[in-house]
Structure 1
Amino acid sequence: MVNLKILVGCKRVIDFAVKIRVNAAKTAVETANVKHSLNPFDEIAVEEAIRLRERMGKDKVSEIIALSCGPPKSQEQLRTALAMGVDRAIHVEVPENQVLEPLGVAKLFKAIVEKENPNLIILGKQAIDDDSSQTGQMLAGLLNWPQATFASKVEVVEDKITVTREVDGGSETISSKLPALVTTDLRLNEPRFTTLPNIMKAKKKLLTKFTLQDLNVDISPRSEILSVTEPPVRQGGTKVDSVDDLISKLKSAGAL
């Protein structure tokens, strides 16, 4: 039986309940003085790692490690993961103004994987700020590991992982030997609430920090954002007097 060492990703994103605004320079969304939280899909990844240990036992899941790449405040999200039940955390500190693209994140994760040697990586399928859905796939490619994306069910037996995943026509079940990488879908689980005692315990858990220089990884962006604009304001609807009038308006708008 393979003893699992699980690495989970934890990204700091603008809270899902915040109304997004474009900054004055039209170069990005406004992040100053805006509430941030743990990316919801990554929260599901953390929950699944903890549930695997609860199902399999501590003797079969030796350690769960949370990893975040981002500015100093990313440690807040790592503390959330620690309060949920993660054993320890790693923070790769990236300067506040540094552009961090999915490939750069995948490279940083690869450097940490080479140090920690986990045999299962669980990431959220995407981050709600950029919706790229690329980091997991890129990391699996860099590591040359099998991957199972958009997981709605995960099972580990002996040295094999079985994943049910969402596809356009419904769902499919695939299996692979470990090590492997999984990205989580919304249907996988519902994350637990953190209790005050666990939040207090999380403050005492180990959080290790690395810099870009420590890992010697080039995360230079491969693309440039030229401008960011808000979508046009939706126009109000108009009333029509009859079905014939409705059809006429739809035809003139090219909808029929």
Structure 2
Amino acid sequence: MKIAVLVKAVPNPAGRPELSQDLRLRRDGREGVLDPGDEHAVEAAVRIAEAHAGEITALSMGPASAVAAVRRAIAMGAHHGILVTDPVLAGADALVTARVLAAALRCEGYDLVIAGVESTDGSTGTLPITIAQLLDLPSVTFARRIELSADTIRVERQTPRGYNILECSLPCVLTVTAAANEPRYPSFKGVVRAKQARVSSLSLADLPLTPSEVVPAQKVIAAAELERRSAGEILENASVAPARIVAMLEKAGVL
């Protein structure tokens, strides 16, 4: 079984993100890490590969420094790595990114494509489903439990009220939630293997895409700091609390 797991290098969540003058997230010269959500995707891929004699390729798009995320995935258990990097792709939106990754996936052909639900920096949550559409594949999303047979995948899809059971045939695109597993910490052997592993590098010239397909359709024109939350209101007199709550809900348009 050939498995592709989509990974992304994001700024360290423990740090403070910064924007450049063109309103792009600063990445050069800053510590990048494997997106925490993608760790669950990698863990799911490794477990499936262990149970079904699979081979995992970690695939990413980004600047040259994004190779760190690919190597982290290899340290966790992926077998190969591919990084699509090209100066033209700087500032790519979610649709362009999906087109590029779909083209890379199409070149190899995979039985299963696994991704996290959304990235911690962009948080669009649209990329995996767009890739499924571009590849004309079915998709199963928000999986918290996964069962795989010879040519069928069955998942518990997490919902606000519980879960649904979904089933579809392979190949397909799968997204997993944080509830799906507990990502393993890379072993010393895995870290050494990741450092020594060769990560293939692809440019746009290696992919069957036209220049118009990699032109972003979206552009950030303004950004502002979120307003700080004001201190909450404390009511010492419990008898006035119900009326005050109703008044606040009316003001908010809830009632």
TM-score higher than 0.5: yes
1:125 aligns to what? 117
1:14 aligns with 2:5: no
The 1:137/1:161 distance shift into structure 2, 3 A limit, reads same
Measured after TM superposition, the shift of residue 208 of structure 1 is: 0.6
The 1:239/1:177 distance shift into structure 2, 3 A limit, reads closer
Q: Distance in 2 between matches of 1:249 and 1:24?
A: 44
1:224 aligns to what? 219
Task: Calculate the aligned-residue CA RMSD, in Å.
Answer: 2.3
1:39 aligns to what? 35
Equivalent in 237, 248, 253 of residue 242 of structure 1? 237
Which range moves more in the overlay, 244-253 or 221-230? 244-253
What stretches of structure 1 move > 3 A for 4+ residues in a row? 23-26, 28-34, 237-241, 243-253
1:162 aligns with 2:150: no
The question of whether the paired residues in 1 share the 8 Å contact of 2:85 and 2:201 is answered with: yes
Letter in 1 for 2:10: V
The question of whether the paired residues in 2 share the 8 Å contact of 1:163 and 1:175 is answered with: yes
The question of whether the paired residues in 2 share the 8 Å contact of 1:26 and 1:227 is answered with: no
2:107 aligns to what? 115
The question of whether the paired residues in 2 share the 8 Å contact of 1:47 and 1:84 is answered with: yes
Measured after TM superposition, the shift of residue 133 of structure 1 is: 0.4
Equivalent in 139, 143, 163 of residue 147 of structure 1? 139
TM-score, structure 1 as length reference: 0.88
Structure 2: segments with no counterpart, 5+ residues:
none
1:76 aligns with 2:71: no
Letter in 2 for 1:195: S
The 1:245/1:172 distance shift into structure 2, 3 A limit, reads closer
Write the mapping of 1:81-100 to structure 2, written as runs, cut at 5 A: 81-95=73-87, 98-100=90-92
TM-score, structure 2 as length reference: 0.88
Q: 1:2-60 CA deviation, whole Å, 9 max, x = no partner?
A: xx100000101122222334x3748244445443211112111111111112223x2xx
% identical equivalent positions: 28
Equivalent in 176, 190, 206 of residue 182 of structure 2? 190
Q: Distance in 2 between matches of 1:84 and 1:244?
A: 57
The question of whether the paired residues in 2 share the 8 Å contact of 1:26 and 1:229 is answered with: no
The 1:79/1:238 distance shift into structure 2, 3 A limit, reads same
Q: Distance in 1 between matches of 2:172 and 2:214?
A: 24
The question of whether the paired residues in 1 share the 8 Å contact of 2:106 and 2:135 is answered with: no
The question of whether the paired residues in 1 share the 8 Å contact of 2:32 and 2:68 is answered with: no
Structure 1: segments with no counterpart, 5+ residues:
none
